[in-house]
Chain A
Amino acid sequence: MTALIATIKKELLLLLRDIHGLLLLFVMPVAFILIMSLALQSQFAQNAGGQKIAVLVDDQARSDSAASVIKLLEQRDVFSWHVTDTLSAPEKIRHDEAAFLLTLQQNNNDLHAEILVAPATNPQIEAIFTAVVGEAMSKQRIEALLRNIKMKRALDSDFSLDDGIDEDALNSNPVTIQYSYQKNQTTSVQPASAQPTSVQQSVPAWLVFAMFFSVVPLANTLISERQQGTLRRLRTLPVPLALPVIGKLVPYFVINQIQVLLMLTVGVYLMPLFGADSLTLGHSLAGLLLMSVCLSIAALGYGILIAVVARTTDQATTLGGVGNILLAALGGIMVPRFVMPDSMQQIAGFSPMAWGLEGFLDIFLRSGGVKDVLPEAGSLFLFGAVTIALALVLFRRNT
């Protein structure tokens, strides 16, 4: 234990005297957050404002009345209307790929609308949508009724309104609502399609990036120890062979947690001073801690693996730096995932940085909790555990 404490103390001292390392870990991400949040503020605002609520329309009626209703609905441009006839439509709703499925059915002369509501759909949006559909259906009924009256009058000069109107049909509710989930079941996470503001995107994105950048100082110290012969000397000391590796993980874990605190503080308190939004932290401290710990384990695993594999500090800087930039470009750090085409979004899912960012966005943007970030946190932990184990095996083999 004394040896481990000595190693941790040594690593902290080395880092405190590594001005480049400190700039990389703390100043660079703060600068990125400031610049990117402010530069992209209007772009994100436009994007969020222009975001439409997706509705799938399944026209089973295939009648003039149905076509008339769809035409009326399409005038409501707060919704984006997507005609579908696939059987998978209800499945898409269950997975929140659209807010509603509107099915139009013809029963004799009556047109009937059925609405399937997605789990994450906001109840207020649901009320608005129901009203919009109800209005369109009513308009269509009135138009049909007027056409009917005009036609009967033309054929029969003695036609009376009392003779021609089916009041039961007129009074029946033309719209029914169903739910793709159990009603009253609270769903904590907002739709996956919810888009962040520039601050909500930039703070977690560059925080994730900064945590992975611990690879550079971490690798440099291990490689310097190897090049200076210190590792060889440590082999003749009564300490475990893995001490130089394990001893680095603890202080850099602490450094990562300080990065989290600093970046969140910047997001919450500093950004508003520059006229940007304040970062909203969500409601789950436990979820935030879980993400922070698992992300750090993943970042350190990646860092220690590069440190063990690279032979020189140049190699480590290139391998770690370029690797980080690629993971960031792929993982939605540099380009938000929601602006990527579907195929790129699928590929982005392979980057551990994307797992980290999505986990933070689940908490900050979608008010998620521990349960909601478990998939991302689990993936990060697994990635970290595998890379650390691999690094230890390679370190033992190479030393």
Chain B
Amino acid sequence: MESVPAIAVRNLRFHYPGEKLPAVDDITLSIDTGSCFGLLGPNGAGKSTLLALLTGILLPQHGDIRINGERLSNTRKLHEYISLVPQDYAFYPTLTLQENLDCFAGFYGLQGAHKRARIDFAVQVCGLDDLLHQRASSCSGGVRRRLNLALGLLNQPELLFLDEPTVGIDAQSRHFILESIAGLQRAGMTIIYTSHYMEEIQSICDAIAIIDHGKLLVQDSLANILARAADMPALPARQNAQRLEDFYLSLTHHALRD
């Protein structure tokens, strides 16, 4: 019996008022439960709008979204088992890390021992143990990124949406975060990951979709896409490790987007 995908999207369309073209234009895709799914696209391709639609921030104007086989209608219920880690440092900089964790745990309705256990889990996964009493504003970019991730883990989500979670941090922090994400996936969490760093996608994702101008250009497993990239004529001075980027650029072209 075929397993139900974590996310199934059919003919999804969203058009912002006043814009000429739709931000999401007839996208159909499927994300397997327990996978780490990479969502790629240049700036303005429609990734953020697609994430907003999948997380219930925006409601689809056309098409259908199914989460674990159920049509997305009750966003309040959806928000109990999904989590979005935005690209921005979406927390309160003048509060300490502990206060931020307490505050967001409160937003999830967590109390008492249950709350403490969830906070301990998030702190452990993100390596924040010794930093809890520091104000977020005084922490390094790497710690802030880890706090951003930790806040997204407080409800122990089945689906975790990560929007460029490693922007602007050093190699050590990036390595730590990628390891943590891989660990979460191994524990059974479905991860939807957007990034502009191809090597990150290559290192942690098992399936990929590339979108541009609101349209889905390709969706396949990482292995298949790398195989297709291998068939492409090699670009001068390009290394094998950059095959995914070559393939991505061949689809989205080299023209600057902003």
Q: Is A86 an interface residue (CB 8 A)?
A: no
Which one of B6-14, B102-110, B221-229 contacts A? B102-110
0/1 interface trace, chain A 217-249, chain B, CB 8 Å (1 if under): 000000000001110111111110001000000
Q: Does A230 lie within 8 Å of B90, measured CB to CB?
A: yes
Q: Any chain A CB within 8 A of the CB of B22?
A: no
Collect the chain B residues with CB atoms within 8 Å of residue A2's CB: 106, 109-111
**Bound complex: CA A3 to CA B103 (Å):** 8
Pick from A5, A17, A18, A232: contact of B106, CB under 8 Å: A5
Indicate which residue in A232, A238, A243 contacts B90 across the interface (CB closer than 8 Å).
A232
Choose among A7, A10, A14, A238 the residue that contacts B108 (Cβ–Cβ < 8 A).
A238
Quick check: A236 and B92 within 8 Å, CB to CB? no
A347 at the interface (CB under 8 A from B): no
- B94 CB within 8 Å of chain A: yes
- B-facing residues in A294-315 (Cβ within 8 Å): none
Q: Does A286 contact B (CB under 8 A)?
A: no
CB atoms of A233 and B90 under 8 A apart? yes
| Least CB distance, A146 to chain B, in whole angstroms | 88
Residue of A nearest to B163 (CB): A229
Interface residues of B in 68-88 (CB under 8 A from A): 76-77, 79-80, 82-84, 86-88
A3 and B57 within 8 A (CB): no
A236 / chain B contacts, CB cutoff of 8 Å: 55-57, 79, 82-84, 161
| A6 contact from B76, B89, B94, B107, Cβ within 8 A | B107
A228–B95 Cα distance when bound, in Å, is 14
> Nearest B residue to A227 by beta-carbon distance?
B88
User: Do A238 and B109 touch (CB < 8 A)?
Assistant: yes
Tell me whether A237 and B57 are in contact in the complex, defined as CB-CB below 8 angstroms, given that A10-B103, A229-B89, A232-B90 are known contacts: no
Could you count the A-B residue pairs with CB atoms below 8 Å apart for me: how many are there?
A: 83
| Chain B residues within an 8 Å CB radius of A6 | 102-107
Task: Across the interface, name the chain B residue whose C-beta is closest to A236.
Answer: B84
Contacts of A238 in B (CB 8 A): 76-77, 79-80, 108-109
Residues of A within 8 A of B247 (CB): none
* Chain A residue contacts of B83, Cβ below 8 A: 236
B76 to chain A, nearest CB (A): 5
Asked if A13 is at the interface of the complex by the 8 Å CB criterion, the answer is yes
Among B77, B89, B106, B161, which residue has its beta carbon within 8 angstroms of that of A3?
A: B106
Indicate whether A232 sits within 8 Å of B86 (C-beta atoms), given known contacts A2-B106, A3-B109: yes
| B91: A residues at CB distance < 8 A | 228, 230
Chain B residue numbers with a CB within 8 Å of A233 are 84, 86, 90, 151
Interface size on A, residues (CB 8 A): 23
User: In the complex, what distance in Å separates the CA atom of A14 from the CA atom of B96?
Assistant: 11
CB contact between B95 and one of A3, A7, A10 (< 8 Å): that residue: A10
Within 8 A of A (CB), among B160-197: 161
Whether the pair A229, B90 counts as a contact (CB closer than 8 A) is: yes
Q: Name the residue of chain A whose CB is nearest to the CB of B95.
A: A13
**Which of B91, B94, B111 gathers the greatest number of chain A CB atoms within 10 Å?**
B94
- Give the CA-CA distance A236 to B161 in the complex, in Å: 10
- CA of A239 to CA of B90, assembled, Å: 16
Residues 95-135 of B, flagged 1 when their CB comes within 8 A of A and 0 if not, give 10001001111111111000000000000000000000000
Residues in chain B near residue A153, CB distance under 8 A = none
In the bound complex, how far is the Cα of B256 from the Cα of A369, in angstroms? 70
| B153 CB to nearest chain A CB (Å) | 13
A9 proximal to B (CB < 8 A): yes
* A399 closest partner in B (C-beta): B57
Give CA–CA (A234, B55) in the complex, Å: 11
Contacts of B80 in A (CB 8 A): 238
Tell me the minimal C-beta distance from A100 to chain B in angstroms.
Answer: 62
Q: How far, in Å, is B6 (CB) from chain A's closest CB?
A: 16
Contact status B107-A18, CB under 8 Å: no
Contacts of B106 in A (CB 8 A): 2-3, 5-7, 9-10
* Complex Cα–Cα for A212 and B137 (A): 29
Quick check: B94 and A17 within 8 Å, CB to CB? yes
Complex Cα distance, B154 from A239, in Å, reads 14
Interface residues of A in 241-297 (CB under 8 A from B): 243
CA distance A169 to B88 in the complex (A): 96
CA distance A17 to B95 in the complex (A): 8
The answer, among A10, A235, A239, for a CB contact under 8 Å with B92, is: A10
Q: Which of A3-39 contact B (CB under 8 A)?
A: 3, 5-7, 9-10, 13-14, 17-18
Q: How far is the CB of B116 from chain A (nearest CB, A)?
A: 14
Residues on the B chain within 8 Å of A232, using CB: 57, 84, 86, 88, 90
Q: Is the CB of B86 within 8 A of A229?
A: yes
In the assembled complex, the Cα of A232 lies from the Cα of B57 at a distance in Å of: 8
Minimum C-beta distance from A220 to chain B (A): 11
CA distance A169 to B82 in the complex (A): 100
Which residue of B has the minimal Cβ distance to A6?
B106
> Nearest chain A CB to B217's CB is how many angstroms away?
26
Bound CA span A233–B107, Å: 11
Between A5, A229, A233, A236, the greatest number of chain B beta carbons within 10 A of the residue's beta carbon is seen for: A236
The reply to whether B79 and A14 contact each other, CB–CB distance below 8 Å, is no
- CA–CA, A255 and B106, complex, Å: 22
**Quick check: A228 and B103 within 8 Å, CB to CB?**
no
Closest chain A CB from B44 CB (angstroms): 17
**8 pairs across A/B with beta carbons < 8 Å?**
A2-B111, A6-B102, A10-B95, A10-B106, A229-B86, A232-B86, A236-B56, A237-B107
Q: Which residues of A come within 8 Å of B, CB atoms?
A: 2-3, 5-7, 9-10, 13-14, 17-18, 228-230, 232-239, 243
Given contacts A2-B111, A232-B86, 16 further A-B contacts (CB under 8 A): A2-B110, A6-B104, A7-B106, A9-B103, A10-B92, A10-B99, A13-B99, A228-B90, A228-B91, A229-B87, A236-B79, A236-B83, A238-B76, A238-B108, A238-B109, A239-B107
